Structure 1
Amino acid sequence: MKFTKTSGLYSIDGSSTSSVSVIDKAQSSIPTIHILSSPARPVKSTGSAPTYTSVSIKRLLTHEKTRYRVECNPSKRATAPCWKVFGFPAMLSNESENQFEIIPGFASCRSCFETYRYIDSSTANLNSHVCPRIVHPNQQTLTMKSQTPRSTAMCKLLAQRKKEMTNLCARWVADSMRPFSIVGDYGLKEIIDKSVEIGRNLRSIDTNFSVDDILRCDRTVKNEVDRTDRVERERLKGELVGAAQSRCLSISPDIWTDNHRKISYLGATANYVDDKYVYHSIDIFCSEFTHLKKTAKHVTEMLEKQLSVFNLHEVMDKITFVSDRGSNFVSALRNYNVLYCVAHRLNNILKRTFYQGLKKKKKNMTPMKSFTFSTNITQKEGVEDDNDGDSEDSSDEDDDDSVDYTVETIAQLNPTAKQVLNTITHCKSLVKYAKKANLNRQLQMERENQLTAVEDDDEESESTASSNKQNFATTLHQSSISIKNAYASLLVVLRRANQSHRIHNINMDIVEKLIVFLDAWHDVLCELQTGNSPSLFLVLPCITHLRQKLQIGMKREKGGIRFFYKRAYELLNNMFIIENDYVVATFLHPNYRQLRGATPTQVSDCFQTCRAAILPVDRSEDMEVDEGRMDIDICNEPRSKRRKLLMTSLMDKNTINKKRSSDEVDQYSKLQLDMDCVYTDPLDFWKQPQYHRAFPNLARLAKQYFSIPCSSAAVERQFSAAGQIVNQRRSNLDPSTVNNIIFLRSIEKRKRDT
């Protein structure tokens, strides 16, 4: 079993050669929506069939909201900007199941319910719509301008120009081999807007004006990238040094090698919280690793050299580093504040749940590198055939609670546990065969024949093939889901290839139970690897959630699956240590102050750390919280948008405490929040004046802890972007240019996000 890093996310690869791109991904779970065959179809079996118009649909959406609503466009090709505002009008068809049927031929605005005819996929009218209920960023007053409809002649002229532009884009994409998505690129639209503006201004001055007068050569653009890079680095220097001085800066370093010239790069992502309680994540460098050997000494030298560009080499003792447990980084960062990547640790635990090998016989080996993990299960290793186990329930008694599940070897496994490992092996073998035999297209065609309402499979094929670089597409979890969903198609395709034994060897009951087992790990890893908001507070709730899921599985399952639930539970308890930093960060989140899942010792250490950070200042009237005023502020504050959270069951329960608190920690612990105040980002809580004024020391502590990510996923995402920059067509890019592009890309992304 191989540990892979894809697009900044760590995953458990079922095989070093397996890829889920050969099997269709599981379809997203979207509400059941039916398309009416005719707009005149009656709503009920009795009565005359209504004929819908744009005016009547708008009236129904406005006055009969319980029976009519606007559904989002379910098509994956709906990438036009208008679909962020528009959807399809739908009527209630089944009240008991809350099913809605889309009324064909129309598109409605989700805000003002203005409805247009939608025929032949033309979005001209939708794009020209100006919703009076949407406040635009540049709007200064509440006065809404009524939309002035374009004349018929102007509409025809624009349609003609649009057709010409579409033709030019099609020829450009084909001739230069560019992706279709480039026409929606943010930068391309900015260039076209600026070109239109320049042409409008110079049209009456210079009639001989052409594009060559303003478009520069490639060398000039490259030099401008270098110049802009120097300017932006100089501008960012002060922010990073200030954050480091406040201990609100963390850096995630790692090493990456490109696939074309095999050049190694040392990359790093800086995460910090500014004085306005805003979280920032910036790729500060991705420089060529000039040393031949990646020893700890060379890593330290390179890291100090790159940090000196931002004057950070002098304040490295105030920076928190987030790294994996590679021996070179462990040794290089030994003298600094370090937190190790939680995602790496959980993936190692999950790998060891299924596979465990012998210790490496090497000198000077570190505890983190003391085990190897076998990726192949053969008959020599003691794995029996599937027929050796009668059923999953047959050997429930073999799972004695006295067994030490952390040291169990393959030879010691009971038959049902071996059957689970055999199923994993057969799944890996099937995926590997399907990839080599190029069965992906055959599976798509077979699904077209089996399903009556499938969306564009060519598009699904593209997303499936590219999923090898995203999220968990190459994990054992996604492989199991893909096999389950493509099972019927696989039966047909493999029968044609005389390879039916590959699918018949797979026990689908075990596959489904494996999916349930891996769901909790998948959810936790996704939650922990967020990149644009604080994540350190999630460690304690996520580990508690994972333990609860494993305990439920231990009670619910039997046989081999139950064995692996128990093994994973013991490995999690033995290999994962809840650091005090995790507990403090959780306490500083307003919805997790009760620290559910923490031991009394951990809670005590957390409070001691928080109280030690309280400055010895006068705690008279300035430090006291006016409870009556605080209640008013909480009731009047704007409620944050509530979304579904993974760990809501571990959030605090509202309790009433009338006793006056003695210090900031007690006051904060007993603070009463509105029941609807759920903060997905804890900095949204601390940036509110009434809170960071009432708890100034805890607010300062929150900035420090929430600047630390719990995983190194951010720098892995940087490497994913670098892999797209250093591709086959641009393999001759100078490493310094790659470094500049990575940095400027991160700066531009931050500007768009803010």
Structure 2
Amino acid sequence: MELVDISSPRKDSLNSEKIKLLLQTESTKYTVIKKKSSTASSSSLPSWWSSFGYPAKSDENAKYQRIFGYVSCFKCYQTFIYSAKSGTTRLREHQNKCARIISLSSSSSSSSINIDQSNISSSSSSILIDHSIDTASSIQSTLPQHGFRTSLKLSETDTNNMKTLCAQWVCMDLRPFSMLDDSGFRAVAQELIRIGHKYGMIDVNEILRSRHTIARSINDIAATYREHMKQKLIEPLKYRAITICPDFWTDTYKNISYLGLNLTNVDAHYQFFSIDLFCRPFMGVKSGDLIVKKKKTTDPILTIDISISSNNNTLPQAHKDAVSSFNDGLSSEEESGDDEEDVLPSLPMVRKRKTNDKEPLLSKKPVEDIPRAAKTILLTIKQCKKMVKFIKQSGSNKDIENLGGTTVHQAIDIRWISIIDSLQSILKSFKIIKKILIYKQQHKLIMNIDEKTIKQILLLLKPFRDVIKLIQTGNSPSLYMVLLCFQTLKDVMSSYQSLLDYDKVHGGDESKEDVDETDEDILDELEGKDTKRNSMSRRLF
């Protein structure tokens, strides 16, 4: 191919990170060309030009056209902004660093350092070679320059000072305490420590940028992530190995429905990943044609050429159209208005309730017909909720902690598993809670609650808690676990001895804290719990 140097720069929406990614992933279309010296001898060029060149893109005539305003490294494709007014210090530093890293990796294969060329996302634990820039005079690199961190014990003065600063930050700026455990905050803090180790004591205002600068950089970062996501999705879409799931949910507080699109896939390295493409307000009925119409009238998140997957017969038609609409741009107002006029109103659909001639397998009983022992169990759960509510409102959790107990957790109606957590927290501090309630003259809250009954209820609900935690895995697939969990519950609920055997195997550390007392309390099954277990067993069968 011939090399063509354009005399005048052309406008392009590329940036340094995007050019680097294109050089790594699309080597047939993008390359790095050498700088031509203005004189006959190439020795007139600075030494750092031996490692750098101009990024170029192949046109329709198979000729490389230079991308103006940037220079790229021949070895790692690191791209920098370059113009007549920009300095060359960072280019010389990168040349020394890149040559040193490659020489170290080639000299010893057993202790080589793998350089992550993507550099799209970084975590606090990743080795960032691009940030380990040292002076040109240094030859031997140190471990902190490569991202290795040492563990040491700070002085008590420094530890207390950090606690005070964090507490003041949370209280004065009204920030949530969870921000201190946020991975992004810790990544920023770790980077500040690295910069301080490199340059010494410097002003923090020289490092941190203003909110306006960060807001402007989000667009560039988002474009880089989209480009990286596009490269990851091309292959699974080509081989029809991706699952596209629309998700509808409603905000009951604002009474607004939302439509989201989620992609799940297992890559060639057997790594599962899930991508949420978008989530936008959705007005209308949940139907395939409205999904497609909504997707076509919104700006696509990604522009992926997936015409190769248009013959996919395994996807519903609505999903095919939704996927193919990735290539559609944002329609103009006139075109969208014409589309609305062309759509004919559909006939009102009359839904008929399905009649079932068969008798129900299990008839619902009124509260009056429930056995007395079963009522006792329901009353215990209800009374435990009242007791926890009083402890929360009166601030007695602090008293429980001072006496050596653990705080009680409140049950939430929309989370069924929270009932189990609430009963477990009561059981751990049952004696302490009883003393505090008697001291506060709240005997009525503890009268109908028996420690043995709570243990028996937890024994009955423990298999259901394990199954719920196993199936509720977020966006990852768990449908294949339903049949296994269903069979497990059938086997466990078949008899009380099976329930005891399950508790011995899956009891965990909680059941081992007080083995003798627990065995005595659950040795004989309560009458009311027997009724509950039989009812659950009949529903499973």
TM-score, with length taken from structure 2:
0.49
Larger Rg: 2
The structure showing larger relative contact order (alpha-carbon pairs under 8 Å, at least 6 residues apart) is 1
